[in-house]
Amino acid sequence: MTDSLPISFRRVTPDDKPRVLEICAGVWDGHDYVPSVLDAWLAADDADLIGVLAGDALVGFGHCVWMSSTYAWFEGLRIDSAWRNRGVARALHERMLAWAYGAGAARVGLSVYLDNQPSLRIVESHAFERVAGFVVLEAPAEGAPHARARAAEDVVRVSSVEAADYINRSAFLEQAHGFFPRNWRFYPYALGSEQPLAQMTHLLGLRRGGRLAALACIGAGEAAPTALALNFLDGSPDDMAILARHVLSLAGGAPVEAMAPAAGSNSNALLEVLSGLGFAPWNDFATDVFVYERPIAGRSEGALSSK
């Protein structure tokens, strides 16, 4: 039990799955992504799903995944609608911070949607700092961009080694302040390319004069079981357009979601290419999602290996 709230905490187990799904059904009109990743979360041995209990009833949970032995990422905070606005998420967040700290974290990262006021309040009152921002764009199922889908014959598969090197030198990574997106999770790329690239289903590129001139990294999207997520796209504007149209052809009419680093002037080439193909920004090119980090005082980030 906490001092002021009649709640306690424990790990979520596979037996809790029906209750977790019930809580998710009340989130974002039933469009929560957690049900699609829940089995993986419950099976993972490098992460923890921490539950909040009121009596015996699970009323909320949050997921913590290790991006290195000293970098913890928080995501998927959910509180049952009947229990909101009583400080439960704040208590859970504090519990997760204490747990991550106890397990050796030197830094904690997370992302927040721009108008999620409770989450913004919680992170900003715990000394988290905004370190990156992204604009979300989408091609809805059968939406206008799909009319521009075209498979390009010169698109090649790229090895993860070559992709990793390209990403390291990319304008995308620089504009993203070193974070590589996978949907709403953002990997600090300096910790290594292995984890984020393992989440991608396609690494596709274009070669010009024998060298890799453009790269698209694609993973599973969240809007539908067949949705794709264009997590990374860089190259010349013409090459990015070829790759984006190729990705639309792979989607075959299914939704394609894209994360673009927020440019101060809102005019970077990637945003222009995607909007030129008809991808719709969620909020008129305003930054939709912010990445926050909080270093934990007195901890050093020596080890970069996966936990």
Residue ranges that bind ligand COA, judged by CB under 6 A? 27, 76-79, 84-90, 116-119, 121-122, 125
- In angstroms, give the least distance from the CB of 108 to ligand COA: 14
What torsion do the CA atoms of 274, 275, 277, 282 make, to the nearest 10 degrees? 90
- In angstroms, give the least distance from the CB of 269 to ligand COA: 30
- In angstroms, give the least distance from the CB of 191 to ligand COA: 21
- In angstroms, give the least distance from the CB of 280 to ligand COA: 22
* Nearest residue (CB) to ligand COA, 33 versus 101: 33
* Nearest residue (CB) to ligand COA, 85 versus 265: 85
Beta strands, E only, 221-302: 228-234, 256-261, 280-281, 289-295
C-alpha dist (Å) from residue 284 to 1, 20, 193 = 44, 33, 31
* Nearest residue (CB) to ligand COA, 28 versus 298: 28
Residue 192 DSSP class: -
Q: Distance between CA atoms of 111 and 186, rounded to whole angstroms? A: 8
- In angstroms, give the least distance from the CB of 60 to ligand COA: 7
Helix/strand/coil for 6? coil
* Nearest residue (CB) to ligand COA, 22 versus 174: 22
Question: Quick count: other Cβ atoms within 10 Å of Cβ 156?
Answer: 13
- In angstroms, give the least distance from the CB of 93 to ligand COA: 8
Residue listed under structure tokens 């005019």: 267
First to last CA, the chain: 30
Number of H helices, E strands in the chain: 9, 15
Residue 6, both tokens: 């009649």
The answer to whether the CB of 48 falls within 8 A of the CB of 10 is no
* Nearest residue (CB) to ligand COA, 74 versus 180: 74
* Nearest residue (CB) to ligand COA, 40 versus 302: 40
* Nearest residue (CB) to ligand COA, 119 versus 195: 119
The answer to whether the CB of 90 falls within 8 A of the CB of 68 is no
- In angstroms, give the least distance from the CB of 98 to ligand COA: 16
